[in-house]
Copies of this chain bind each other. A is one copy, B any other.
C-alpha cells in the first residue's frame, strides 16, 4: 500500500462489510445498514481515505469510535447516522483537541463501517487497523484500553440528540458499565467514542491492516461466488483459517440481557462430521466452540460461522434452527494473546473459569487432526 493509503471506492463497501461480518465472529452488529449509509454519503461526494498506520504522525490525535449496543437491536432500530460523529465531537470538546483521523474500535461487523461514516461526515481519513482485529462485546476489550489508553473522556450519542460524556472514570470497567447503561437507555443502540489517542500510541497498539484485510476477505467471497466455487473452501484457503466443523443448527437460544445478546447454539454434524456434535457459546460474539465436548477454539481466537452453501458470514442474531453452517477459526493477533490481554479477553474474563486459553490448533485440512 502506498504511504498515503488509498481512497475507499463505492464498490469497496460491499466486500468490506462482508469481510467485516466474517471478522465479527458472529458479533459487532450487521454491517449492511451502515454500508448503505456510507454508500449514500459517497454518492453525495464524500471521500474517505484509508490511511496506513505508518502514515500517522506521532503527535496526531486519533478518535476511536463505533456503535455500542445489542446487535440484535441494531437490525430493527435503524441509526440516525450521525451518532458516532457526534460522540467524536463530544470527546474532542471534552479533551480540548482536534482529531485528524478516525479508527475502528473493532473491525468486526458494523463497527468496521461506523468510523467510515463518521470520517465521511468529518472529512477525515480512517486508519487501516483497529483495536481488536475482530469484534468483542465490551468497551474495555480493545488493545487500546488493554495497553493503557485513558478511560476518560469518552462519550455516547443517540439518534435523538442526547450526548453523554464520561468526563472522569476510575477505570475502563467503570466506563463499560456507565456506557452500557447509557446505551440501554438510548434504546440499546448508540454511537460511542473514547478519549482521542496520540498517533504513536495508535501505531504501537493497533491490530494493523485490518480494513484492508476485511476488504480482501470480502473480495474473496464475492469472487468465489461469481465463479461458482465452494466459498468456504476459498475463504479457508485465502485466510489460512481452520475448518472445525460442518453441521446443522439443532437448537439456538438467545436472550437480550443487560444490553447484550447472550445464548448458545447447538449443532449436529453433517458431511465429514456426521454423528458428532458441536456447541457455540455466544455473548454478542462467538466465544467458545466445543466439538464433541472438547473446547477446540476459544476467545480471543476467532470463531466464525459461514453459511455452508453460500459462504455468507452469519452474525449471531441471524442464526436459526435448521441452518447448515461451517464453523471456521482464525488465530487472533498476538497483541490480544499477551497475559495482560488475556486477563481482559481470555475465556475466564467471559465467565469460563474452567478454561485456560489455548491457541487454536492450526489445520487447513477439512476434518482436521483435532478429531483424532
Residues of A in contact with B (beta carbons under 8 Å apart): 90, 93-94, 155, 157, 160-170, 174, 177-178, 181-182, 184-185
Contact = CB atoms under 8 A, between A and B. Distances in A.
Contacts of A169: 161-162
Contacts of A166: 162-165
Given A181-B184, A182-B182, A185-B181, A165 B165 contact: yes
Given A181-B181, A181-B184, A168 B174 contact: no
A95 to B, nearest CB: 12
B155 A174 contact: no
Given A93-B167, A163-B166, A163-B167, 6 more contacts: A160-B170, A161-B169, A162-B170, A164-B166, A178-B182, A181-B181
A164 B162 contact: no
Contacts of A165: 94, 164-167
A93 B166 CA distance: 13
A68 to B, nearest CB: 14
Contact of A167 (B160, B164, B177): B164
A167, A174, A181: most-surrounded residue (chain B CB, <10 A): A167
A174 to B, nearest CB: 5
Contacts of A174: 160, 162
A196 to B, nearest CB: 16
B160 A178 contact: no
Contacts of A164: 164-167, 178
A12 B169 CA distance: 37
A174 B182 CA distance: 11
A157 B164 CA distance: 13
A164 B155 CA distance: 9
Contacts of A160: 170, 174
